[in-house]
Structure 1
């Protein structure tokens, strides 16, 4: 991080009453003398991304093998319409579109949190192994448990992600807990977990292995309201925390010494953010399976679009929702009527993103 970026982030972290509110920002009061500074460009970009995500989701509702007009869709949402239209919109397309928006937003915020903690643009949950650990926990429940309901799978993914996070952090501490050490240890543990996951599949029955393998690819093809309802509750509980966690995440990017000088307990804030990011990623894995590269790309694209010097959690959430909505439309329509798992589409696009990102980093001084 450059000195200019550090100065901007430190300035944003201080109370606006002491420094005055910069022209590019405005303060929103939170009560009890507290307020939050919002960057005007970041807010505008977030709103534009949300609007684009809603447009893509609307297109997903209306298009496909069975086409609907906007009037037909509105009639269904208003409580009327034919039985077939209601089945297509309410039971098939709407839960899938909502799941894509919510999972994309949650994964992107998780990626932004981990990139902030590691101070490295490669520090996303799928790179450092947390997603793979959550996948292992989910597979254990699916393949070895007699009660593989969604709450049990969610519990397995959260426990798997948290255990993996603890192991990665403990191993990285031996090398100074730097961002690079965290990523290297996470990649190594991720490969070990991938081998364990493959072994679990070889010991399962054919039917269980096929179901688990489809889940492991990351798919929204069979999403129903039974999965979307708890996902909505989790998003309503977790996403508003962005308003409170954005400031400590931005301060931690300055380093522990600067964070302590600004009155932040670095160890406590890091632990809270780590647990928050793991829970975000694990909830998504429980519902859709692991979806690769979204948590890696969305925060960086959001940061560049909003010209943010620090963590842009709200813009990242909006960018993630848009990217997964687009990826799911491609997965559903590209080889229709065959449905591609959205995780394969995101992995293919993620490879292209990495090529672009590496080339971009080489061009930077």
Structure 2
């Protein structure tokens, strides 16, 4: 399985990225002026900018040189007034209100489901396209649940600059990693059954969980303080901390079941999941076992790094079952694909993201 090491996240300096205060101006993106600031580009708002995902939004916008003419940094009243430097410009965090979306073309939400439910429709009514990272609208039949590399057609008719607002839901992290790896195979042979085991990092629980993990690794034998999780997190493994439902699965596991069916538009695909919290800062990993309707042998024998994700180049795979990276797209990496020894029409694959 591919391993992504994030030792830099164990430094206290890095955690300043997630815990700014009024006396500091943490640099959260390159300070040079980028071509992304353009007068003809859309205006953007980031809701929940002081959280771990909000910070990641800014990082991705910067890394991809996403064009924008203005950007609003929005958070709770408690966080308003904090200062940030983004791409060479200083910004003040504003309190989120219903007036925050006046003149905003795109709003990226990651402030929790209750905030999304309260302010998402308000933004849409003002002509804003809302991309929501919470679970608030994922299973709403009128809201597209989108992984751009998997089902971009679900956003058909949604266009920036028309003055017509819309809601787009972002799937759960484990669903995105799983379907980025499984969808190219599903398109060729149709997945009938999928068994997924996830190994999820602290980042999925937010900045406070990352800080708690770091603090627990530095205790030197002292009893840990457990505020985010009920038990010690450092040097430990436990079932995902999401609430357990009546069927025995926890909410995180059922998200994989329900979201996969909606994104693939296939209510018959059988999905079962086991989600485990692991004591690393970032990078979730998944083991995915797939059973298909049709044989994939010819396709698997030709799998290469680029074929898996639809790139034009054909990079030969040294062999099925070898521990090699056979596919990579964005931040998702498929580390190995093996023909199942128990299922004639099955594959086992591993992915990180």
TM-score calculated relative to the size of structure 1: 0.22
Higher RCO (CA 8 Å, separation ≥ 6 residues) = 1
Higher share of residues assigned helix: 1
Higher share of residues assigned strand: 2
TM-score calculated relative to the size of structure 2: 0.23
